[in-house]
Structure 1
């Protein structure tokens, strides 16, 4: 059994391990080592080989941050002003009610809106302490 292992860098400069494992014996008709190496795709991949355990893991796909528009902010602040002033975190049903009342908030997840309310409460406290 031969393990062929390549290391390449992706677009961001992170090292990535690309490998393929094939059984090669003297009388095997599956091809020579050179043919196996030619079959291996070289380039960025979603597979990463860990240095310690040599396990293949998939890279996490992070989404890009979407900035809040003025309309979204005003809708959240209008609906959750009592929550912000009292310090109560809105629950999922309350956020879903706000999304029904303000359709612009439908593109945001309920946890994203909840996190915005919590952050706005912190900003308010910080502003009042000055």
Structure 2
């Protein structure tokens, strides 16, 4: 009799835990992205060209994201360098609520070859 009551208790407790609604998780107040401050040492410093001539003071523009159109994420860094060196590459500015939020670099359309397009599920 004691074993039966104990088994019923465990079965009920297990069912209660299994069927109970999940407890709401405490969300962090602010999601913080971990960033490396690689270019932070250049902020506010005099910037010089290749010949050593001062061009002006360089300032880091925070909260402006840089994007590049690339065939893969792995080659994005190399594609950005290529876009910056090509005279026919294009630059698009993204604004949110009238404020600059992103810069998108795209390669020369003649170099990209086949354009990436969207397709609907009905087209398959």
- Give the TM-score normalised by the residue count of structure 1: 0.18
- Give the TM-score normalised by the residue count of structure 2: 0.19
